[in-house]
Amino acid sequence: VASPATVSRCGMVYNDYSDLTWKPYVQSWMEKRQKAEMNHLKQLFDRYIDKTLTFKKTHCKELVPITELNGVASLCRLYDSLATPENG
């Protein structure tokens, strides 16, 4: 939490994760992809990510807990590294 004076000097904006969730991050990430790929990825994310995160939260134990946003960001980075023309 920052005072208005700090915000005006530094240009800081604080957004609580619970207000945004992981969806704005994924939307921004998808906008950098090709349109056909973006449409396919959007369907997959809409269909599976919430269910996967719920399953992870209720049935899995993490040795090092991470936030949902960090997990989804890691998924996006993993996709970027593996979904290349060289890999088909």
Q: Residues 41-63: pLDDT tens digits?
A: 999 999 999 999 999 999 999 99
Global pTM value? 0.75
How much of the chain is helix, strand and coil, in % rounded to 5?
Answer: 70, 0, 30
Among 5-19, 55-69, 72-86, the minimum mean pLDDT is found in 5-19
Which residue blocks in 31-65 are alpha helix, DSSP H?
35-59
Looking at residue 5, what is its pLDDT?
A: 72
Residue 87 has pLDDT above 90, yes or no: no
Is pLDDT larger for residue 6 or for residue 60? 60
Residue in 48, 38, 43 with CA at minimum distance from that of residue 72: 48
Contact between 41 and 30 under an 8 Å Cβ cutoff? The reply is yes
